[in-house]
Amino acid sequence: MDKTARDFFCCLLRAHSPSGDESAHQRIWLDYVKTFAQVETDHSGNAIGALNAAAPFKVLLAGHSDEIAMLVKRVDERGFIYFTSAGGIKPALLPGLKVDILGYNGKVGGVIGFNRKSDTDAPSKPKCEDYFIDCGFSSKKEVEKFVRVGDYILYQSEPELFNKDKLVCKGLDNKTGSFIVAETLRKLSRQKLKVGVFAVSTTGEETNMRGAHCAGAVIQPNMGIACDVTYNTDTPGEDAQNPSEVLLGKGPALSVGSPINRRINELLEKSAKKLKMPLQFELTPGRTCTDADRIMFSGNGVPVALVSLPLRYMHSPIEMASIKDIDAVIELLSATIASLTGKEDLRPLKP
């Protein structure tokens, strides 16, 4: 990862991008991608970069820009703020965390509070509604100068690098995917392509997948590849939760199962073999729970694959990924798309 890419990635990670208000992230993404590709937006808030857009055979790369968040639910008379989730928040990890509220008059800092009773009488399955946010205000009237019901709340976090390779930050699910599709497009922009490539930083994956559906319906690709994250199995106890082994730092993970087009996986595996790149596999028997599920059912139906980045501590306030894995996904996608002739037949069965 060169300095240009690294600086861009850090800007994306620092931008708050709750599911439903991804504009700050998307603005950074568009300003970067427009230096080497055509850019566009749509009604769902997607940011789209395209190369060779007029080509008959179109490839859609999708990485979602939104991160899990919370929403202001009510404010009590003492100035404490209550909230609910917007995405897969893990309530048990919330007490004591610092957060930013994206208030209508600017950003407001706060801490997720709890009382002493919580130490001995915490619910076995806590909910967001069991906690509150303390911004240092002393009344509802004070709070309402800055914050109102429906404002987004996000974790405070700065990207850091541990042991030279391990990136830690909030929102790696899935700002990594948004970054990967942009960098893949940048790498492909230096080559003569025989297919059209549409890299889309999609919206709303954590809540309703509105961006993926819109991208598939408007672009009408001949094939789609979703770039997302998957649970690792190399931390204590995690191996018992996953049906397949996925290790951090050991390369991209290809999904295998009913949603996945086997022809696309064969193309990816062929490229990996040429690159001498190790691959991992994850099982998605019914659904992938990613943008691939929605792209697959758009238009007349789109053959899809899912290339995943191993991730530790998914949907927590601080996640961890390997820079080495991120670079490998970019290399794999770039090599695969560059090898396409535009005459690929992705039907599982020919007449």
**DSSP string covering 75-103, please?**
E-TTS-EEEEEES---GGG-TT-EEEEEE
**H helices of the chain, where?**
3-14, 23-33, 117-121, 140-143, 172-188, 210-219, 262-275, 291-296, 323-338
Segment 115-136 shows an average pLDDT of: 80
CA–CA distance, 7 with 74 (Å, rounded to integer)? 38
CATH 2.40.30.40 fits 69-155, yes or no: yes
Question: Model confidence at 87, in pLDDT bands (50, 70, 90)?
Answer: very high
Which residues have a Cβ under 8 Å from the Cβ of 93 and sit 6 or more positions away? 316, 317
> How many residues in total does the chain contain?
351
Segment 218-262, tens digit of pLDDT: 999 999 999 999 999 988 877 656 667 899 999 999 999 999 999
User: For residue 123, is pLDDT > 70?
Assistant: no
pTM: 0.95
State residue 121's pLDDT score.
62
Question: Do 285 and 136 meet the contact criterion of CB atoms below 8 Å apart?
Answer: no
Domain ranges of the chain: 3-67+170-338, 69-155
Integer angstrom CA distances of residue 223 from 6, 65, 212, 261? 29, 21, 13, 9
Select the more confidently predicted residue: 198 or 105.
Answer: 198
Alpha carbon 104 to its chain centroid, in Å, reads 25
Give CA angle at 250 (248, 255), nearest 5°: 85
Which residues have a Cβ under 8 Å from the Cβ of 178 and sit 6 or more positions away? 12, 25, 29, 63, 64, 65, 201, 202
User: For residue 350, is pLDDT > 90?
Assistant: no
Segment 17-44, tens digit of pLDDT: 999 999 999 999 999 999 999 999 999 9
State residue 125's pLDDT score.
84
User: For residue 155, is pLDDT > 80?
Assistant: yes
User: For residue 118, is pLDDT > 70?
Assistant: no
User: For residue 211, is pLDDT > 80?
Assistant: yes
> Cβ atoms within 10 A of the Cβ of 100, count?
16
CATH T-level assignment (fold) for domain 3-67+170-338:
Aminopeptidase (3.40.630)
Segment 200-214 shows an average pLDDT of: 97
Give CA angle at 293 (288, 296), nearest 5°: 135
Question: Model confidence at 116, in pLDDT bands (50, 70, 90)?
Answer: low
% of the chain with per-residue pLDDT over 70: 96
| 128, two tokens | 């967001």
Closest CA to 326 of 235, 224, 232, 248: 248
Using DSSP, state whether 282 is helix, strand or coil.
Answer: strand
State residue 11's pLDDT score.
98
User: For residue 117, is pLDDT > 90?
Assistant: no
| Residue that has been written with the tokens 């706060």 in this structure | 110
Using DSSP, state whether 181 is helix, strand or coil.
Answer: helix
